[in-house]
Amino acid sequence: MKRDSYECSAELGSVTEAMKAQRVLAAAAIPSEIIKSEGGRHRGCVFGIGFSCAQTNNVRAVLSSARITPRGWKT
Amino acid sequence: MIYLDNAATTFPKPPEVAREVFRCMTQYCGNPGRGGHSLSLAAAKKVYECRLAIADLIGCAEPESIVFTENTTHALNLVIKGLLKKGDHVIISDMEHNSVLRPIAKLESEGVIEYSVFPTRTLDDRRNPTLICAGIARRMRKNTRAVICSHASNICSAALPIAEIGAFCKRYGLLFIVDAAQSAGHLPIDMQKMNIDALCAPAHKSLYGPQGAGFLALAPSLSEMLDTLSEGGNGVNSFDTFMPQRPPERYEAGTLPTPSIAGLVEGINFIKHIGITTICDYERDLYVYARELLANSHGVEVYAKNHEGAVILFNKNGKTPEEVAGFLDSKGICTRAGFHCAPLAHKTLGTDTTGAVRASFGIFTRKSDVETLAKALSEIK
């Protein structure tokens, strides 16, 4: 169940990719949670991370610098 | 019971390893990377924790390039068969275990590759890294793709200078694949500093984890390059017909051995707490003591005794290795006799017609165990 404060999300892929993203975000003091979505256009389930929308720009920057490219964003 | 077969598997395991396996199986062992529920995510978190622990231990650049396998053999098969293509040539050492030799020999028999064997100079008193690398250089061809070798032998305490071999491979554009079955947790390893492209190891030997898991650690040079050995479900993108491009899920089809992986985390914590150098020194001291006692034991011949580590190989004159090991077992001493799945190594040591008895030490081996071994050997008439 998603926390109310994590209303934004980034779709990543495997649970490992999601955990890598969570790890780099945690290192930047950005809280997040692992989520699973149906994927839709990604042809099956994917894992991603949920985060506070207030952190969207920071999340984008941190993931980009870690060379993590989300498949989609919900912001 | 005195257990001196740690090269086969370490025993006993630290209590915290067994506790974590039990805790996993009773409290959080969902299927990692499958569901989005709390138990699946808890299991996935533990698996990821293990990738982080392994990567930190062996200097792997990316924890996500730690691929879990059944054991070292599975890891070696994955990298050897995933990497090598028709026309490739590889160089292996003269001390290799069948886990390297057999997949290589199979590919050769199918006409896919050719291979050469370089001398480790295990019995050479003037052995040095320069001479060993020169032996590799002499066997290089235009189509040589990789050097594949064990870090430490499973039948004696000989270890290869993998830092120097890695530097050599980098200089000549060769991939370097290391079988660390006998060295992970026993000898220091740093994949990045040693220019290792792939490293294979088990959970259940010197990492003091349970049987059932091993890993293949990949450098960025190889992480997305290997053909897959098996394909199947991995929890994401079910409608994609093919395995994903990136590790680890690319190479991990099917359910992982989560309880074994959970136990491995505690095994790694255990050896980190003690320190690999401390463990290595402790086991070496046991070896030196054993070598001294056995040298004074009538009719016992120790092989490759110029190498000091955790493994001592010997025979007793007038008895077959099986007879000796059988007698030792009757005294409650566990050793392994025969050829140890390492025909190349036995040939190098000159024991390929007789086989030998192997006693191998671990962190739980005591000096008194070595004394009991020597005493038992002296009772064999």
Q: Is residue B253 part of a domain?
A: yes
Residues B39 and B138 in one domain: yes
318-337 in chain B: CB under 8 A from chain A: none
Q: Are residues B294 and B160 located together in one domain of the fold?
A: no
* Rounded CA separation A11/B334 (Å): 53
pLDDT at B381: 86
Mutation test of the interface with chain B: which of A16, A20, A33, A68, choosing the one with the most B Cβ atoms within 10 A? A16
Q: What is the pLDDT of residue A42?
A: 58
Query: Does B243 lie in the same domain as B334?
Result: no
B237 touches chain A (CB under 8 A): yes
pLDDT of residue B126: 86
Q: Are residues B240 and B265 in the same domain?
A: yes
Strands (E) in B142-242, as ranges, are 144-150, 175-179, 198-202, 214-218
User: pTM of the entire structure?
Assistant: 0.96
Nearest-CA distance A44 → chain B (Å): 4
Which residues of chain B does A47 touch, with a Cβ-Cβ cutoff of 8 Å? 33, 36, 236
Judgement on whether residues B291 and B165 belong to the same structural domain of the protein: no
Minimum-distance CB partner of A46 among B32, B64, B237: B237
> How much is the average pLDDT of A36-62?
86
Domain membership of residue B370 as a residue range: 275-378
Which of A13, A19, A45 faces B48 most closely, judged by CB atoms?
A19
Nearest CB among A34, A39, A44 relative to B41 is that of A34
User: Residue B139: its pLDDT value, please?
Assistant: 98
Locate the chain A residue with the closest alpha carbon to B65. Answer: A16
B260 with A38: CB under 8 angstroms? no
CATH number at residue B256: 3.40.640.10
Exposed/middle/buried for residue B26 (C-beta within 10 Å: 0-12, 13-18, 19+): exposed
For residue range A26-37, what is the model confidence (pLDDT) as tens digits? 999 999 999 988
Partner B contacted by A13 (CB < 8 A): yes
A-chain residue closest to B67, CA distance: A16
Looking at the structure, tell me whether residues B32 and B159 fall in a common domain. yes
* Domains in chain B, number: 2
**Position of tokens 């499958």?**
B34
Same domain as B297, residue B193: no
* Tokens standing for residue A56: 């969207």
Residues 46-75 of A with CB under 8 A from B: 46-47
What is the complex's ipTM, to 2 decimals?
A: 0.89
Nearest to B240 among A34, A35, A43 (CB): A43
Residue A35 distance to chain B (closest CA, Å): 7
Residue listed under structure tokens 């000159």: B350
Sheet strands side by side (includes B175-179): B66-69, B214-218, B198-202, B175-179, B144-150, B88-93, B113-118
**Is residue B5 assigned to a domain?**
no
In whole angstroms, what is the distance from residue B302 CA to residue B174 CA? 36
B171 and A CB contact within 8 Å: no
CB contact under 8 A, B239 and A44: yes
Interface probe with A: pick from B236, B241, B255, B261, most Cβ of A within 10 Å: B236
Q: Tell whether B194 and B63 lie within a shared domain.
A: yes
Q: How many CB atoms lie within 10 A of CB B122?
A: 24
Give A-chain residues touching B35 at CB under 8 angstroms.
36
Query: CB of B119 within 8 Å of any CB in chain A?
Result: no
E strands of B219-369, at which residues? Answer: 300-303, 311-316, 333-334, 336-338, 356-360
> Which runs of E-coded beta strand occur in A1-75?
8-13, 33-37, 46-51, 72-74
**Which long-range contacts does B327-331 make (Cβ < 8 Å, 24+ apart)?**
B327/B376, B327/B379, B327/B380, B328/B357, B328/B373, B328/B376, B328/B377, B331/B372, B331/B376, B331/B379
CB contact under 8 A, A46 and B234: no
Distance (Å) from the C-alpha of residue A58 to the closest C-alpha of chain B?
A: 23
Mean pLDDT, 10 residues at a time, chain B of 381 residues: 98 98 98 93 97 98 97 98 98 98 98 98 92 98 98 98 98 98 97 98 98 97 93 89 93 97 98 97 98 94 95 97 98 98 98 98 98 96 86
Nearest residue of chain A to residue B234 (CA atoms): A14
The answer to whether residue B308 neighbours chain A at the CB level (below 8 Å) is no
> What three-state secondary structure class fits B214?
strand
Which is it for strands B66-69 and B214-218: parallel, antiparallel or unpaired? antiparallel
Residues of chain A with Cβ-Cβ distance to B248 below 8 Å are 16
Domain identity same for B346 and B259: no
pLDDT category, A4, cuts 50, 70, 90?
low
Percent of chain A with pLDDT over 90: 76
Find the domain containing A21 and state its range: 8-74
Which pair of tokens denotes residue A7? 């209303």
Tokens 């980009």: give the residue. A64
Pick the last residue of a domain from B250, B273, B296.
B273
- Are residues B269 and B313 located together in one domain of the fold? no
**Domain end (from B234, B252, B273):** B273
Q: Within a domain: residue B8?
A: no
Q: Are residues B303 and B207 part of one domain? A: no
Q: Residue holding tokens 């793709």? A: B145
B37 domain-assigned: yes
**B7 inside domain:** no
- Whether chain B has a CB inside 8 Å of the CB on A35: the answer is yes
Residues B76 and B136 in one domain: yes
Q: Given 3-state DSSP classes, what are the helix, strand and coil percentages for chain B, each rounded to the nearest 5?
A: 40, 15, 45
Task: Give A21 to chain B, closest Cα distance, Å.
Answer: 11
User: Domain total for chain A?
Assistant: 1
CATH code for the domain of A47: 3.30.70.1530
- What pLDDT is attached to residue A41? 61
What is the structure's pLDDT at A1? 45
